[in-house]
């Protein structure tokens, strides 16, 4: 075990989950980072937030970063620290389908683990993260980086990280009240064999297309019959923005995670901004303000900074 520490700084990325057909099993880390500074000082738990969610995210032990950090103490049978200060710089938009809660959870777990001298390995941290988040796909990508495949195997999670070459994405983040729970509640509990097979065949092709940078292939296989049609109905302007992305040159389009953001894959970095703006303008034309974002995928996952 490493030494106990009184301070540490952790960063954890935004993520996009599902990637079309890979419902609940595919995730991709994005180059947009939340940062959390931990210090064992003062009394009780105090969290300061700047950036996204400043003024509305909790400042006490109910904050997700703090809850995750304290979860590591409980897991290893340590009493919570007498005083814990956490300063969060939040860059991942909240409730947007970009894995903001996964990023917070993973940052908290990594920070708590670091303060305790790293008693837990990444596989156990992944299981704790999935327990706190409820779904493993975003947390796996946030923890490991790159393109991750995650499956439940009895009580354990089995994860494989696939390194991807330079991948650029365009996002439109609409200002819509949205929750993953509501977006999941609208999904069927049973699907037909035909629809299951439709998705099953496409998942390895999405992985292969991203692994080899084959955007032509990606454009042919990033469709889905399990979740996106139901969810698109919950996103006003979503269909129009999707079509705008296709018209402006996107190779493939999907709902990011459970939505409401849309993600489009482009073959050149310079196209990301153009496609993101086209999607945001299409949302705006339907009366829904949306933020355009052009990002790259990240091969790195959450990290303790030196
Ligand atoms: N796979 C999840 C979903 C992503 O689509 O609901 C959100 O955690």
The Å distance, Cα 242 to ligand 1 centre, comes to 19
* Model pLDDT for residues 262-298, shown as the tens digit of each residue: 999 999 999 999 999 999 999 999 999 999 999 999 9
306 pLDDT more than 90? no
Nearest one of 119, 137, 190 to 29, comparing CA atoms: 137
CA gap 224, 222 in Å, rounded: 7
Taking the CA of residue 133 as reference, the ligand 1 atom at the shortest distance is 8
The Å distance, Cα 18 to ligand 1 centre, comes to 7
* Model pLDDT for residues 89-126, shown as the tens digit of each residue: 999 999 999 999 999 999 999 999 999 999 999 999 99
Mean pLDDT of the chain: 96
Q: What is the pLDDT of residue 64?
A: 98
Residue 222: half-sphere exposure toward Cβ, Cα within 13 Å: 29
CA gap 276, 295 in Å, rounded: 10
pTM of the model: 0.96
The Å distance, Cα 284 to ligand 1 centre, comes to 25
Any ligand 1 atom below 6 A from CB of 261 = no
Any ligand 1 atom below 6 A from CB of 100 = no
Average pLDDT of the segment spanning 29-57: 96
The Å distance, Cα 76 to ligand 1 centre, comes to 29
Taking the CA of residue 231 as reference, the ligand 1 atom at the shortest distance is 5
Q: What angle do CA 183, 185, 191 make, to 5 degrees?
A: 100
Tokens 């998705």 belong to residue: 199
14 pLDDT more than 70? yes
Q: How confident is the model at residue 200 (pLDDT cuts 50, 70, 90)?
A: very high
Average pLDDT of the segment spanning 191-196: 98
1 pLDDT more than 70? no
Taking the CA of residue 135 as reference, the ligand 1 atom at the shortest distance is 8
The Å distance, Cα 117 to ligand 1 centre, comes to 32
The domains located in the chain, with CATH, are 7-163 (3.30.230.10), 168-296 (3.30.70.890)
Q: Tell me the β-bridge partners of 87.
A: 37, 48
Q: Which residues contact 105 (CB under 8 A, 6 or more apart)?
A: 64, 65, 67, 68, 129, 132, 133, 139, 142
Q: What percent of the chain has pLDDT over 90?
A: 94
Any ligand 1 atom below 6 A from CB of 277 = no
Nearest residue (CA) to ligand 1, atom 4: 257
Average pLDDT of the segment spanning 186-191: 92
Average pLDDT of the segment spanning 172-200: 92
Peptide bond into 112 cis (omega under 30): no
CA gap 28, 125 in Å, rounded: 18
The Å distance, Cα 57 to ligand 1 centre, comes to 21
Any ligand 1 atom below 6 A from CB of 224 = no
Nearest residue (CA) to ligand 1, atom 8: 135
Q: What percent of the chain has pLDDT over 70?
A: 100
């Amino acid at each position: 075990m490493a030494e106990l520490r009184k301070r540490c700084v952790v960063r954890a990325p935004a993520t996009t989950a599902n990637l079309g057909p890979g419902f609940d099993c595919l995730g991709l880390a994005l180059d947009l980072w939340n940062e959390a500074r931990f210090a064992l000082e003062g009394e009780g738990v105090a969290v300061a937030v700047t950036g996204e969610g400043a003024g509305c995210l909790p400042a006490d032990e109910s904050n997700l970063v703090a809850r995750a950090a304290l979860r590591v103490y409980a897991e290893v049978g340590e009493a919570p620290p007498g005083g814990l200060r956490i300063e969060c710089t939040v860059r991942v938009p909240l409730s947007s389908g970009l894995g903001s809660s996964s990023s917070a959870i993973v940052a908290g777990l990594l920070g708590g683990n670091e303060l305790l001298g790293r008693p837990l390995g990444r596989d156990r941290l992944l299981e704790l993260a999935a327990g706190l988040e409820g779904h493993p796909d975003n947390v796996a990508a946030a923890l490991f980086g790159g393109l991750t495949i995650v499956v439940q195997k009895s009580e354990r999670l089995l994860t494989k990280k696939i390194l991807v070459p330079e991948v650029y994405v365009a996002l439109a983040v609409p200002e819509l009240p949205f929750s993953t729970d509501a977006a999941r509640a609208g999904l069927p509990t049973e699907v037909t064999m035909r629809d299951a097979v439709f998705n099953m065949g496409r998942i390895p092709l999405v992985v292969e297309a991203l692994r080899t940078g084959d955007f032509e292939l990606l454009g042919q296989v990033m469709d889905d019959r399990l979740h996106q049609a139901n969810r698109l109905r919950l996103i006003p302007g979503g269909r129009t923005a999707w079509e705008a992305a296709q018209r402006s040159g996107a190779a493939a389009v999907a709902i990011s995670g459970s939505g409401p953001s849309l993600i489009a894959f482009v073959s050149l970095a310079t196209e990301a901004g153009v496609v993101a703006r086209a999607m945001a303008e299409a949302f705006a034309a339907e009366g829904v303000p949306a933020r355009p974002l052009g990002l790259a995928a990240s091969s790195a996952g959450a990290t303790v900074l030196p």
